[in-house]
C-alpha cells in the first residue's frame, strides 16, 4: 500500500510538471525546457525509488521467509524432542543450577507422582520426596561432571514406604546452553528393579539347586562308603541299599523336573504348543485317578466340581501334569482325613482350574515367591514328604505356555486354593 501511494504521488508530480511544461513552451521556451528537465529528473528519481523499494521489499520478504522457516524448524525439533522424551521408558529430569526443575518427561512425572505443568520452576526439595535422589542431584550440580549411582527409590511421591524395593540406576550429566555454558544437570533414571529381582532369583536358584542335588548325592556317597567298609555284611546291604535307591530316585526326580522346566521355558505361548479341543471334566478325572492312591493311603477324599460340557483348546497332558502337581501337594500338606476339591469353571474368556485343600495354610510373606523354583515354606517337611521343590514352578510355566497365569489364596489354619487361568477358547 505504501509503494502504491509513492507511485501515485510521483505520477501526480509528473502530470503536474508536464502540464506546467506545456504551458511554459507556449509562453516561454526557456521555462519549458526547465520543466522538461524537471520531468526527466523526477522520472529518474521515481525509478530509483521504485527499484530501492523493490529491493527492500524483496529483502523483507526473504527475511520473513527465513524467519518462518526457522520458527517451523525450531517447532519441529521441539515437537520431536517432546515426542522422544514422552515415549522414553527412562525418567528424564532437567534442573538448573539453583536446583529448580526446568523440564521432565512423562516417565519422570509418573515416578515422582506429579503433574509436569505444576512443578516447572519449583525446587527439587518441594517435588522430590526421596532423600537419596535429592542428594544425588545436588551432588551432580556440585561436581559438574557425569556421575552414576544405583538408588533404592522405595518411597513414592506421597512419601509413603513402598512394599517392595524400586531399584534405579541414576545417571547425571552437565546441562549446557548453546555457547557451552553450564546451566544445570540432566538426570536420567533407569528402572532396574525387575533385573535385580531376576538376579536374586538366579542366585537363589543356583544356591538351592546345588543344595537340593548335593543332599541326595552326599547320602548316596555316605551309604556306598559304609557298604564298602562293611564288606559283604548282609545287614549293611539291607540297611543302606534302600537308602541309596531312595536318594537316587529323589535325584532322578529333581533332574526330571528341571528338564521339564527347561522344555516349558523354551515354549512360546500359543506358538509351538500343540493344543486340541478337550473335555475338561475328563482331564480332571484322569488327574484325580492318578493321585487317588496317595489320597486313599491318608484316608482323604477328592471331590470334583465341573460341568460335563466344558471344553477348551489346550494341551491335555500338560494341564493334567499341573493338576497332578497341585493335587499331590494338597495330599502331602494336609492332615489325614481331610477333603480336597478340584474344580473348573469358565469366567468370561478364561477357564479357571482350582485345587482347594484344608491344610495348614501358607503365611502371607511366602505367597509372592511360592511359585519360584526350589522355594519352600517348610524345607524340612517338604524334603521329608519327598518333594523336589519344583512342582509349583512347573504349574506356573504350564499356565504361561498356554498364555495364562496362576494365583494362590491361603489362610493359616484354614487351607489354600491354587488357581490356574488359561484361555477358554
Q: Is the pLDDT of residue 171 over 70?
A: yes
Q: Is the pLDDT of residue 256 over 90?
A: no
Torsion angle (degrees, nearest 10) of CA 249, 415, 395, 271: 170
Look at 246 and 127; give whichever has higher pLDDT.
Answer: 127
Closest by CA to 154, choosing from 129, 189, 123, 124, is: 129
Strands 101-104 and 91-96: antiparallel
Q: Is the pLDDT of residue 364 over 70?
A: yes
- 8 Å CB contact between 217 and 252: no
Q: What is the pLDDT of residue 269?
A: 58
**Alpha carbons 311 and 113: distance in angstroms, whole number:** 45
Q: Is the pLDDT of residue 326 over 90?
A: yes
Question: What is the three-class DSSP state of 154?
Answer: coil
Where do the domains of the chain lie, and which CATH numbers do they carry?
A: 2-83 (no CATH), 88-191 (3.30.450.20), 194-266 (1.10.287.130), 269-425 (3.30.565.10)
Closest by CA to 92, choosing from 194, 164, 184, is: 184
Count the neighbouring beta carbons within 10 Å of the beta carbon of residue 258: 19
Count the neighbouring beta carbons within 10 Å of the beta carbon of residue 122: 14
Q: In the chain, pLDDT over 90 holds for what percent of residues?
A: 19
Q: Is 42 exposed, middle or buried (0-12, 13-18, 19+ CB in 10 A)?
A: middle
Average pLDDT over residues 357-365: 88
Q: What is the pLDDT of residue 234?
A: 81
Q: What is the pLDDT of residue 58?
A: 84
143-157, 179-193, 316-330, 354-368: which has the minimum mean pLDDT? 143-157
Q: In the chain, pLDDT over 70 holds for what percent of residues?
A: 80
**Alpha carbons 380 and 345: distance in angstroms, whole number:** 35
Closest by CA to 248, choosing from 225, 224, 231, is: 224
**Alpha carbons 269 and 404: distance in angstroms, whole number:** 9
C-alpha cell at 371: 511359585
Q: Which residues contact 262 (CB under 8 A, 6 or more apart)?
A: none
Long-range Cβ contact pairs of 226-232 (< 8 A, separation 24 or more): none
Q: What is the pLDDT of residue 270?
A: 53
Torsion angle (degrees, nearest 10) of CA 28, 30, 36, 37: -160
196-210, 328-342, 395-409: which has the minimum mean pLDDT? 196-210
Q: Is 191 exposed, middle or buried (0-12, 13-18, 19+ CB in 10 A)?
A: middle
In this prediction, residue 302 has a pLDDT band, given cuts at 50, 70 and 90, of: very high
Instruction: Please name the helix (run of DSSP H) or strand (run of DSSP E) that holds residue 58, with its range, or none.
Output: helix 29-87
Closest by CA to 400, choosing from 224, 248, 211, 261, is: 261
Q: What is the pLDDT of residues 53-103, one digit of tens each?
A: 888 888 888 888 888 777 777 676 666 666 665 667 788 888 998 899 888
Q: What is the pLDDT of residue 351?
A: 94
pTM of the model as a whole: 0.57
Q: Which residues contact 278 (CB under 8 A, 6 or more apart)?
A: 311, 312, 313, 314, 316, 319
Quote the distance between the C-alpha of residue 84 and its chain's center: 17
Mean pLDDT, the chain, rounded, equals 80
Structure letter (DSSP) for residue 163: S
Q: Is the pLDDT of residue 423 over 70?
A: yes
In this prediction, residue 157 has a pLDDT band, given cuts at 50, 70 and 90, of: very low
Q: What is the pLDDT of residue 159?
A: 39
Amino acid at each position: 500500500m505504501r509503494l502504491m501511494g509513492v507511485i501515485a504521488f510521483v505520477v501526480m508530480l509528473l502530470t503536474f510538471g508536464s502540464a506546467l511544461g506545456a504551458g511554459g513552451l507556449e509562453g516561454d521556451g526557456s521555462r519549458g525546457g526547465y520543466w522538461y528537465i524537471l520531468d526527466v529528473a523526477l522520472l529518474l528519481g521515481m525509478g530509483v525509488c521504485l527499484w530501492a523499494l523493490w529491493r527492500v521489499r524483496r529483502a523483507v520478504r526473504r527475511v520473513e521467509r527465513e524467519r518462518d522457516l526457522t520458527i517451523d524448524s525450531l517447532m519441529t525439533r521441539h515437537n520431536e524432542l517432546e515426542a522422544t522424551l514422552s515415549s522414553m521408558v527412562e525418567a528424564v529430569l532437567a534442573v538448573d543450577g539453583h536446583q529448580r526443575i526446568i523440564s521432565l518427561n512423562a516417565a519422570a512425572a509418573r515416578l515422582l507422582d506429579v503433574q509436569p505443568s505444576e512443578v516447572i520452576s519449583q525446587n527439587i526439595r518441594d517435588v522430590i520426596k526421596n532423600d537419596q535422589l535429592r542428594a544425588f542431584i545436588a551432588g551432580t550440580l556440585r561436581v559438574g561432571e557425569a556421575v552414576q549411582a544405583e538408588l533404592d527409590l522405595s518411597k513414592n511421591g506421597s512419601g509413603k514406604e513402598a512394599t517392595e524395593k524400586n531399584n534405579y540406576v541414576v545417571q547425571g550429566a552437565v546441562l549446557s546452553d548453546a555457547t557451552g555454558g553450564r546451566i544445570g544437570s540432566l538426570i536420567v533414571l533407569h528402572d532396574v528393579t525387575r533385573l535385580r529381582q531376576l538376579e536374586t532369583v538366579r542366585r537363589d536358584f543356583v544356591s538351592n539347586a546345588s543344595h537340593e542335588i548335593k543332599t541326595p548325592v552326599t547320602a548316596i556317597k555316605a551309604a556306598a562308603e559304609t557298604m564298602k567298609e562293611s564288606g559283604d555284611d548282609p545287614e549293611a546291604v539291607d540297611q543302606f541299599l534302600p537308602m541309596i535307591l531312595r536318594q537316587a530316585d529323589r535325584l532322578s526326580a529333581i533332574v526330571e523336573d528341571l528338564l521339564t522346566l527347561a522344555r516349558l521355558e523354551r515354549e512360546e505361548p500359543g506358538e509351538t504348543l500343540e493344543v486340541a479341543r478337550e473335555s475338561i471334566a475328563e482331564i480332571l478325572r484322569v488327574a484325580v485317578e492318578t493321585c487317588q492312591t496317595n489320597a486313599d493311603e491318608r484316608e482323604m477324599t477328592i471331590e470334583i466340581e465341573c460341568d460335563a460340557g466344558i471344553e477348551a483348546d489346550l494341551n491335555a497332558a500338560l494341564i493334567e501334569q499341573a493338576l497332578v502337581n497341585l493335587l499331590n501337594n494338597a495330599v502331602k500338606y494336609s492332615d489325614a482325613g481331610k477333603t480336597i476339591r478340584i474344580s473348573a469353571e469358565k469366567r468370561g474368556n478364561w477357564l479357571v482350574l482350582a485345587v482347594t485343600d484344608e491344610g495348614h495354610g501358607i503365611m502371607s510373606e511366602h505367597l509372592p515367591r511360592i511359585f519360584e523354583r526350589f522355594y519352600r515354606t517348610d524345607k524340612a517337611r517338604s524334603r521329608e514328604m519327598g518333594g523336589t521343590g519344583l512342582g509349583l514352578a512347573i504349574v506356573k510355566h504350564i499356565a504361561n505356555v498356554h498364555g495364562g497365569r496362576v494365583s494362590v489364596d491361603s489362610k493359616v489354619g484354614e487351607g489354600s486354593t491354587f488357581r490356574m487361568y488359561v484361555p477358554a477358547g
